[in-house]
Structure 1
Amino acid sequence: MDNYQEIIASLKQRFPEGTVTHRKDKKGVYIPNQVYTDRLETATGSEWDKEIKELDISVPHRYVKAIVQIRIGPYTRDGYGVSIMNGDPAAEPKLIRTAVDQAVNEAFIDAIDTYEMGWKDLAPYKLEDWAGNPALAHLLQSGPPAGVEVGAAPMQSFAVSNHKCLKCKANLTIAEWELLGRIPNLNRESMVYCFEDIPAHLKRKLPEQVLTDFEEKRNNERRST
């Protein structure tokens, strides 16, 4: 496979704005499996494969362990996943199916993670975890969303969006909406603020470079209008 490095570069590209999803229990964020699958399909031209190499179902100990392998051409990556069955699988066999699905999905994500897929999108939410390491600061640098060609006309990021500020009721610009997505663990569906009304304690959570870039672009936009 002569274009393997190009494929890997495509896998690492930032996803479109809004891809990162907040968990219903508000305990973190994630990127849906379907998004990763679609990126694999697009980047490889459907020339990839997923194999469940190992599936260990322990009814007595109520756990499922899965090893999933992703193959792109001659290259492979393995991922591991474990799921616990909360209940008696002997009495409720459907618990086994659910646990298998969870373990396999977890193993798939674990394998995907080795390609750094989604790292740029998840980094703003993981500053207190792995993304706060100086060696990974480059992940926080802004770049064109996936699907936007380099050299294409710039997006009108300061155009008005459909999202309204909870405080002043004004419509946010697209840039303001995207900025909210950079605040770690912020649920943009319930905490929507224009830049001026973002609470100080939340604004302080923004990476310094992200905040500086936003203010510079906003000032340039105002001077040009």
Structure 2
Amino acid sequence: MGRLSAAVLAAGGLWTAVSLAREVRSARAERGHRHAQLVRRAPELPISLLPRRRRGRGREPLVVLENVRPQAWSLPGPRARLVVTTGALQQLSDRELAAVLSHERGHVRARHHWLGQCAQALATGFPGVGVFSAFRDQVAVLVELAADDRAARRHGPVTTALALAELNSEVFASCPPAQLAQSPARVDRLLLGEPRLPVPARLGWTLAALAAPLGAAALAVAPGLSALL
């Protein structure tokens, strides 16, 4: 029985790795396709033509697309880009636009797409396990809240909430519909200004959250390892 449990766990781990590799490959191909489309619609200027203050490293290039719909999104990866439409430029004030760009830059710099890929790989690899689907959905919501917090710290929660409300949630158009449905709650959360947990408390909860699945995995693997040994 112990050997069978070890074999099942090993098969599950292998299938998880395969699912993750497949998801990463698919996401990379999709990003490449979107980057190619963006280059065709808005070719980048040669660096010699850019203002000197824009040539430095560490800031993602901003691309403006002609579109009456107010939208903004980010393309993560080694060639990360921030994209806004002319509709967004017309509808947002300077401070609101800065908050939106800070939100999208937060996604890129925190590598939120990595979290999304891992969560999606689990949900796709084990479609019958509801907890993985719920985990994917919660990760999608949490990364949006984290990006909202980044924008609110730099530009104020009211400005960030106004940007969300004025664009009718389309400012984060790269999000799937399930995430866009969370926008009213996100606006309320920003306007309420509920205090965040202090750093030690957040670290403690993070460690506890990591310890729970690791402890469960250790308990599950222990019988199989003892049988093999």
Q: TM-score w.r.t. structure 1 length?
A: 0.25
Higher normalized strand content (fraction of residues)? 1
Higher normalized helix content (fraction of residues)? 2
Q: TM-score w.r.t. structure 2 length?
A: 0.25
Which of 1 and 2 has higher RCO (CA within 8 Å, sep 6+)?
2
